[in-house]
Amino acid sequence: MPTVILVVAAVLVVVFVAVNFAAGERKVEKDIEHLYGAEDPQFLRSMGLLVGPSILEGNSVRALVNGDEIFPAMLEAIRGAQHSILFESYIYWSGDIGEEFAAALAERARAGVKVHVLVDWVGSARMEQRLEQQMRDAGVEVEKYHPLRWYNLGRLNNRTHRKLLIADGRIGFTGGVGIAQNWTGHAQDPEHWRDSHFRVEGPVVAQMQSVMLDNWVKTKGHVLHGPEYFPPLQPAGEQKAQMFSSSPSGGSESMLMMVLLAITAACKTIDLSSAYFVPEGIARRALVAAAKRGVRIRIVVPGKHIDAETVRRASRALWGELLEAGIEIHEYQPTMYHCKVMIVDGFMTSVGSTNFDVRSFRLNDEANLNVYDADFAARQARIFEEDLKQARRITLEEWKARPWREKLHERAFALLRIAL
């Protein structure tokens, strides 16, 4: 009898792992053919009709660099809200900045503003219960995404990795930051991370609101609508933009397809900032193909300061064919590099929560803002150049000369990450 129980238990474990780590949809398997450039009108049609929501004109997107710029702007928008606040985050931890956000959200709720907070159950594990209770007592609706429940076991590995804040349906924020002390400061030392976030105004904010509300409905079962959430939006600038999202429950392959289309359209340059860069085969092939047709590709990833050493090892195992194709890979030196930005041909810029790995492309709920504007891309390129100055380039010769034990460990971690 004990043997039977052990066998049943083992089967259940295997089934659980399979359900959580295998996507139910067919994967993107075939390479995408290069047919047009990023500045060709056909590229915009493909991005707006084939894979994503409509590209909207009249937007203003401003980059905020590191916590000293990011958090004051977000808190200002929260404190100025008069009707509604929607806030979704993977990480929300206790600490001074967590206290400040909780107090600001609670104050607005007491003032009659409708405040809705959605945090990931895993990502918010280090958030003290008293902060959540402080918000609830003030009238904030606080929900956890996919908490550990028997009916959620099949979704346990599907986390919301999105970072979204929308105030009054008019001002939006997205990017890479979580609510934790690591993101405060100005990347001045290893305890203060380098990251970028983006403040958005204009018609595309309504798309940001819709992305957030999609997960709110999945979690709460309550549809939020009306002028408090979707007011008429006038043009706020001259940038074309779209808010792109993906989720295993509604198109897990869409984010990967968007990224592949952008890489495949590149004719001149790709600058990629990636906190977790573990590209699977089809993504590596797309980058190599772009390099072979003359595209200059530069990638900045974390160096020794990283919050997940296994990710760094898995990443390094996969650099060979990229370096051989002439792709530049640079490791950021001062602190953890948490940016997630891709600039294509000095025209398209994609920013948001998506990492360049299997988890983001197939398992997480992610959200990226795509901006189609040369001036905006030029500003992001200048920020990228500043990051590049503080990064160390890894040569093909150095990569090949790694000790064999290091190579073995890296290959094992890479196989594990890509097999998810």
Residue 11 tokens read as: 């089967």
d(CA 208, CA 300): 27
Respond yes or no: is residue 161 known to be catalytic.
yes
Give bridge partners of residue 349 from the DSSP assignment.
Answer: 343, 371
Q: How far apart are CA 343 and CA 368, in angstroms?
A: 13
Options 195, 340, 373, 387, the catalytic residue: 340
Tokens of 272: 């990629």
CA–CA separation, 151 and 307 (whole Å): 31
**Integer CA distances (angstroms), 266 to 11, 262, 287, 322, 347, in order:** 46, 6, 10, 16, 10
Q: How many CB atoms lie within 10 A of CB 375?
A: 10
Please tell me which residue in 163, 192, 305, 330 is annotated as part of the active site: 163
Catalytic residue check, 307: no
Question: Quick check: helix, strand or coil at residue 25?
Answer: coil
Among 116, 146, 305, 338, the active-site one is: 338
Number of Cβ atoms within 10 Å of the Cβ of 108: 24
Phi-psi domain of 277 (left: phi exceeds 0; alpha: psi -120 through 50; beta: other): beta
Q: Which residues contact 31 (CB under 8 A, 6 or more apart)?
A: 282, 285, 286, 289
Q: Which of 293, 300, 238 is nearest to 273 (CA)?
A: 300
The Cα-based distances of 395 to 49, 220, 325, 369 in angstroms read 40, 50, 12, 32
Angle value at C-alpha 280, between 276 and 281, nearest 5 degrees: 150
116 is an active site residue: no
Q: Which of 116, 120, 144, 168 is an active site residue?
A: 168
> How big is the chain, counted in residues?
420
- C-alpha span between 251 and 261 (Å, rounded): 16
Question: Of 114, 116, 161, 192, which is the active-site residue?
Answer: 161
Which H or E run contains 269?
strand 269-274
Instruction: Tell me, yes or no, if 338 is annotated catalytic.
Output: yes
- Which among 338, 323, 314 has a CA at the least distance from the CA of 291? 323
Lookup: tokens for 331: 């490791």
Q: Is 345 a catalytic residue?
A: yes
Which one of 120, 195, 345, 365 is the catalytic residue? 345
CA dist 173 and 183 (Å) reads 15
Determine contact, residues 208/233, Cβ cutoff 8 Å: no
The DSSP 8-state label assigned to residue 150 in this structure reads G
Q: Enumerate the active-site residues.
A: 161, 163, 168, 338, 340, 345
